[in-house]
Amino acid sequence: MPVIHDGVLKPRLASIGTALGARRYSQDEVIEGFRELWSGRDREFARVERFHRAVRVESRHLSLPMAAYPLQSFDEATRVFLEVGTDLAERAMGPGFSSELVLLRQAGGG
């Protein structure tokens, strides 16, 4: 049922769901992947590693294989987001759910 306040249709939260990328990597695997990307920039990598260890997570779920990162352009990241993000949104909403508007935030761009 729509929510109307002072004659104005107000947005409402219809559903909440979660979905994770299909590929699970340990935090150490992710850090090692960053080590390869930051090769030759040891000082900067030390900050990246410190940050990733400080968050104290055991694993991360990625939508693409680690070898696919980093994405080569903003256009590629957008394409991947649209392909993978919509699949994640459908999984999070569950079967039979339909909506005119879906907002999705995926950290990591793919």
Closest CA to 75 of 110, 35, 40: 110
| pLDDT tens-digit series, residues 43-98 | 888 988 999 889 988 999 998 998 888 888 999 999 998 888 888 888 888 776 65
- Asked if residue 48 and residue 77 are part of one domain, the reply reads no
Q: Which range, of 1-5, 13-17, 26-30, 85-89, averages the lowest pLDDT?
A: 1-5
Whether residues 51 and 38 share a domain: the answer is: yes
Are 27 and 55 part of one and the same domain?
A: yes
| Domains in the chain, number | 2
pTM of the model: 0.65
Q: Inform me whether the pLDDT recorded for 102 exceeds 80.
A: no
Count CB neighbours of 32 within 10 A. 13
Instruction: Provide the pLDDT for residue 2.
Output: 64
Its domain, for residue 105, covers 1-20+69-110
Q: Residues 5, 35: one domain?
A: no
